[in-house]
């Protein structure tokens, strides 16, 4: 239950920079990392490792 409340408060999607697919949800401490997060993750749609950027939880895929 605690994890769900953390994702609602500080959560966001990680979207692939190539296909714009939203593949992962995560959260972060905004005091330690105020900038937008970019991680290299596996994209099942592209079937390769690509950069994934932080997007809002309400953001639509591909926008």
Condensed to tens digits (0 to 9), the pLDDT of residues 29-47 reads 888 988 999 999 999 999 9
The CATH code for residues 2-55 is 2.20.28.120
Alpha helices, DSSP H, located in the chain: 2-10
CA distance 11 to 38: 14
pTM of the prediction?
A: 0.74
Render pLDDT for 16-33 as a digit per residue (tens, 0 to 9).
999 999 999 988 888 898
HSE of 18, CA atoms in CB hemisphere, 13 A:
12
pLDDT of residue 11 exceeding 70, the answer is yes
């Amino acid at each position: 239950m605690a994890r769900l409340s953390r994702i609602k408060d500080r959560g966001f999607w990680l979207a692939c920079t190539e296909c714009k697919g939203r593949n992962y949800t995560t959260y972060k401490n905004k005091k330690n990392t105020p900038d937008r997060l970019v991680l290299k993750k596996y994209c099942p749609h592209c079937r390769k490792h690509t950069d994934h950027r932080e997007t809002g939880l309400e953001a639509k895929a591909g926008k």
